[in-house]
Amino acid sequence: MNKNYYITTPIYYPSARPHMGHAYSSIIADFFARFKKIDGYKVYFLTGTDEHGLKIQRAAEKQNKDPKSFCDEISKTFENLSKSLNLSNTDFIRTTEDRHKKSVQNLWNILEKNKQIYLSKYSGWYSVSDEAFYNEDEVEEKDELKIAKSSGSIVEWVEEESFFFKLSEWQKPLLEFYDKNKNFILPESRRNEVISFVKGGLKDLSVSRKTFSWGIKVPSDENHVVYVWLDALTNYLSSLKYPDENNNLFKNFWPADLHIIGKDILRFHAIYWPAFLLAANIEPPKRVYGHGWILSGDMKMSKSKGNILDPLEIINNYGLDSLRYYLLKEVSFGNDGNISEEKLENCINSDLANNFGNLCQRVLSFAEKNCSSIIPKHDFNNDDLVILNSLKDLSKIRSFIDNQDINQYMSFIVDRLFASNKYFNDQEPWKKKNDKLRLYTIVYTAIELIRKISIILYPVMPQTCIKVLNTFNIKEDYIDLSSLENDDFLKEKLKISKLDILFKKIDK
């Protein structure tokens, strides 16, 4: 069985500081990466910044900066955000790095050699904000401005010499590819969207620009820079040291297992990207998941709309793990979702302080008083085994992850947390002072439940779960999903160290 796993976030435009939408894509990817890691996989997790193109050039000009130093500055804020989000990424790639330029130019040369690129003239609509070309029927007029119907961003008329990629030739192979790889695009609604778009016919795609210079030069014609999406998508290969296809990174990790992206960039990942790769005789990625947007009210959160929520501020005020938990549980994965401080506070109180935090605190303080904080002996009865068994179905838990069903994964956790609190209540260990073995067994079972739930919750809230698991002397590197199958993992007489309050209830 192949135990390597390659997962990516989109690479972010450093045109402005990061916001909650960016944090969302990254947290989702980190969740999957961490799960795979505790399930014994070697994980390669890539994130980074997408630094070329007119959008960045203009943003830099606005501040009277040259694009490279402008990017250096803002890319740093994304790298710092990765740290603030506690991402477990293996690499952080910047498209202005030489290793990336080399990959892009190499891919270009192969496409040219395979007769997939020709020189012609582009005339049509272009949105700098989306870095996308639009057909006449994808554009409408609003307040005397031409805008793209899908994103609402302003488009401008472009007429220039351009290299084209023969995308039209890939309509049939792409449809065959989607058909053979039914789960290449998820969720299903987005897959249907893409298929109907491709069925409607594909036009050749302009893949170079000539009227500005902030990009990677086309190797065969230095007057052109490579279209920023062909440049950007290639990051997924360059981090693996492509074009050196014999190096171990490329051999072990390509094709990528999962590209996590927002729904706004689906067309690039689900149509252009596999087409470029097929045309260059490189295997396409295994899956592209297009998540929904984080809304503010009912609008997409974005810099241009001025409605952004700063993830760093939220982390400072409420803690990182609360934010991670909220985004993973309260935003239905695949759909749009909302975040507000009020909703976050409600979630912290009900799920984290009252449910998970409460379970840990009451069980461990009971163990302190009644078992001197030492893992006691046990003799399970049927009630104990039933609840412990409900946390060992690895194939069910793995299938949530492999289907990217975060919603079910989170409901499973919440359900097991309620059940564990209920178990402790119903068993009433405080009434068993005359039956020490039963009291000890209830404590042992409850602690095992905390251990198991903390392992499943680790990909969601790594820092918090490490704290909990450390009290049982389980260190991060030894967190192992398969230990869920073991109901008496914890050794008798082990000293339980002190656990501080995990989540404070917020007064409202």
The footprint of ligand MSP (CB under 6 A) covers 10-13, 21-22, 24-25, 50, 232-233, 235, 261-262, 264-265, 293-294, 300-302
Q: Please report how close the Cβ of residue 230 comes to ligand MSP at its closest, in angstroms.
A: 10
Hey, which residues does 258 pair with through a beta bridge?
7
Q: Please report how close the Cβ of residue 229 comes to ligand MSP at its closest, in angstroms.
A: 7
Pick between residue 291 and residue 378 the one whose CB is nearest to ligand MSP: 291
Q: How is residue 178 written in tokens? A: 């989607």
Contact between residue 29 and residue 260 where contact means Cβ atoms under 8 Å apart: yes
Pick between residue 74 and residue 460 the one whose CB is nearest to ligand MSP: 74
Pick between residue 19 and residue 416 the one whose CB is nearest to ligand MSP: 19
> Given the DSSP bridges, would you call strands 258-262 and 288-291 parallel, antiparallel or unpaired?
parallel
Pick between residue 11 and residue 363 the one whose CB is nearest to ligand MSP: 11
Pick between residue 285 and residue 319 the one whose CB is nearest to ligand MSP: 285
Q: Please report how close the Cβ of residue 371 comes to ligand MSP at its closest, in angstroms.
A: 46
Q: Please report how close the Cβ of residue 261 comes to ligand MSP at its closest, in angstroms.
A: 5
Q: How is residue 99 written in tokens? A: 């290793």
Q: What is the DSSP string of 381-429?
A: -HHHHHHHHTT--HHHHHHHHHTT-HHHHHHHHHHHHHHHHHHHHHH-G
**Quick one: which of 329, 280, 245 has its CA closest to 112?**
280
Pick between residue 253 and residue 366 the one whose CB is nearest to ligand MSP: 253
The total of other beta-carbon atoms located within 10 Å of residue 99's CB is: 13
Q: How is residue 118 written in tokens? A: 């020709």
Q: Please report how close the Cβ of residue 212 comes to ligand MSP at its closest, in angstroms.
A: 17
Pick between residue 18 and residue 429 the one whose CB is nearest to ligand MSP: 18
- Separation between Cα atoms, residue 35 and residue 31, nearest integer Å: 6
Q: Please report how close the Cβ of residue 148 comes to ligand MSP at its closest, in angstroms.
A: 14
Report how far apart, in Å, the C-alpha atoms of 225 and of each of 30, 66, 93, 104, 326 are.
Answer: 33, 17, 20, 11, 41
- Indicate the residue whose CB is closest to ligand MSP: 262
- Separation between Cα atoms, residue 370 and residue 488, nearest integer Å: 20
**Quick one: which of 274, 268, 271, 272 has its CA closest to 256?**
274
Q: Please report how close the Cβ of residue 30 comes to ligand MSP at its closest, in angstroms.
A: 14
- Separation between Cα atoms, residue 437 and residue 439, nearest integer Å: 5
Pick between residue 229 and residue 400 the one whose CB is nearest to ligand MSP: 229
Q: Please report how close the Cβ of residue 14 comes to ligand MSP at its closest, in angstroms.
A: 8
- Separation between Cα atoms, residue 139 and residue 147, nearest integer Å: 6
Q: Return the residue matching tokens 């307040």.
A: 143
Pick between residue 198 and residue 233 the one whose CB is nearest to ligand MSP: 233
Q: Please report how close the Cβ of residue 24 comes to ligand MSP at its closest, in angstroms.
A: 5
Q: How is residue 345 written in tokens? A: 């506070």
Collapsing DSSP to helix, strand or coil, 68 comes out as helix
